[in-house]
Amino acid sequence: MINVLEHWYKRKFSDPDSSMLLILLFLVSLFLILWGHMLTPVFVAVTIAYLLDWPVARMSKFGISRAYASTLVLIAFISISILVVVGLLPAIWQQGVNFMRELPQIWGQGQEWVMTLPDKYPDYIRGDEIEKMLSGVNERVVEVGEQVISASVSSLVDLAALLIYLILVPLMVFFMLKDKGELMDHFTILLPKRRRLIKQVGTEMNVQIMNYIRGKVVEIIIVGGVSAITFALMDLRYALLLGVLVGFSVLIPFIGAAVVTLPVLAVALFQWGISPNFYYIVVAYGIIQALDGNLLVPLLFSEAVSLHPVYIIIAVLFFGSLWGFWGVFFAIPLATLVKALINAWSGSEGTIEEGEAS
């Protein structure tokens, strides 16, 4: 067994470039695991910088200086963000407050409906099992409610930090856009001299991450906007709130869509009961999800959809457990990173074997 592992290691990592890539990957992963939580403003700034780099680059091609283009693009981004927050946040907040007030009624009505199942299907469902299940769920709901309240209180303490982020993040974004070339040169100096595979993987991932962030923002806007408009046209209550939830659910592939389905169906069931309107909402929501998964996602993420759904789900669970929200958000790029690393090491192996044969 040891000989097999030794032969595998020599075959894969005898090339110094492969070894350097492995060491760099290990050091970066260790750094993020230990100190990643301290760099949240940096991650936010890098994400926004990737999003805004495309218009800055296009303006630079027309002869506009990168500093001037970065200033204009950042001002436009901040202005649009403020307009969206001022225009939508009060309505979303109000609908959220109303939804939380009616949540006990929605939950109570749901329990009443569940309790009717033993009478309808006595051969398959027992009343005592339903009562035991609901009792456990109620206890869990109380625990989640306490956690939400404690999180809300603690978030007030972090208000000062949030104000600091609102100043630091735009500044970092501006300098990342303005001095992109200089910052990349500084980063390159830190890399080892044997960096052929590091450069290969880095170039591929830079394009992947840029396309992913831009595509994900477009997907959130389209899915959230279409959902909100559809729910409003069908007179579903909390249409804007549910539309926003559906939009942001695309951040978590597969799992997000499944989770956000529950509040959509719960509100529709509470509002109309088992009626034609309820089925219309189910069909409309199903069509939105189908178009997102089968048309929009392949169009925006042509490279990412080459990954099998099982690998994407594993990436969401694994990287989410390591780095929380950012691990979930970048699950697909990180999965493609693993794929790029495998391809790089496989290509390196072929180069080594050709060199040995010669």
What contacts 228, CB < 8 A, 6 or more positions away? 239, 240, 242, 243, 244, 246, 247
Would you mind telling me the total number of residues written for the chain in this entry?
Answer: 358
Q: What band does 156 get if pLDDT is binned at 50, 70 and 90?
A: very low
- Return the pLDDT at 169: 87
- Return the pLDDT at 153: 46
Share of the chain above pLDDT 70, in %: 77
Number of structural domains in the chain: 1
Token readout for 115 is 């309790």
Highest mean pLDDT (candidates 212-221, 293-302, 335-344, 349-358): 212-221
What contacts 130, CB < 8 A, 6 or more positions away? 114, 115, 117, 118
Among 12-21, 117-126, 139-148, 200-209, whose mean pLDDT is lowest?
A: 139-148
User: Are the C-beta atoms of residues 95 and 241 closer than 8 Å to each other?
Assistant: yes
Token readout for 104 is 């006990």
The parent domain of residue 224 ranges over 2-357
- Return the pLDDT at 200: 73
- Return the pLDDT at 357: 41
Is the per-residue pLDDT at 204 higher than 80? no
Q: What band does 8 get if pLDDT is binned at 50, 70 and 90?
A: low
Considering only residues 103 and 233, tell me which one the structure prediction assigns the higher pLDDT: 233
- Return the pLDDT at 356: 43
Dihedral angle computed from the Cα positions of residues 2, 4, 9 and 11, in that order, rounded to the nearest 10 degrees: 150
User: Are the C-beta atoms of residues 224 and 244 closer than 8 Å to each other?
Assistant: yes
What contacts 329, CB < 8 A, 6 or more positions away? 47, 216, 251
User: Are the C-beta atoms of residues 20 and 194 closer than 8 Å to each other?
Assistant: yes
Share of the chain above pLDDT 90, in %: 18
- Write phi, then psi, for 184 (nearest 5 degrees): -65, -35
Collapse the DSSP code of 127 into the 3-class scheme (helix H, G, I; strand E, B; otherwise coil) and give the result: helix
User: Are the C-beta atoms of residues 305 and 297 closer than 8 Å to each other?
Assistant: yes
Is the per-residue pLDDT at 240 higher than 80? yes
- Return the pLDDT at 284: 94
What residue has token string 């997907």?
Answer: 219
Cα–Cα distance between 244 and 186 in angstroms, integer?
40
Cα–Cα distance between 250 and 217 in angstroms, integer?
10
Classify residue 211 as left (phi > 0), alpha (psi -120 to 50) or beta: alpha
- Return the pLDDT at 355: 44
As a whole number, the mean pLDDT across the chain is: 78
Distances from the Cα of 42 to the Cα of 168, 187, 214, angstroms: 9, 15, 18
- Return the pLDDT at 33: 77
Is the per-residue pLDDT at 1 higher than 80? no
Average pLDDT over residues 227-244: 93
Is the per-residue pLDDT at 47 higher than 60? yes
Rg (CA), the chain: 25
Token readout for 184 is 């990349």
Instruction: Tell me the pTM.
Output: 0.74
Is the per-residue pLDDT at 312 higher than 70? yes
Q: What band does 145 get if pLDDT is binned at 50, 70 and 90?
A: low
Is the per-residue pLDDT at 131 higher than 50? yes
- Return the pLDDT at 350: 46
What residue has token string 């994900």?
Answer: 216
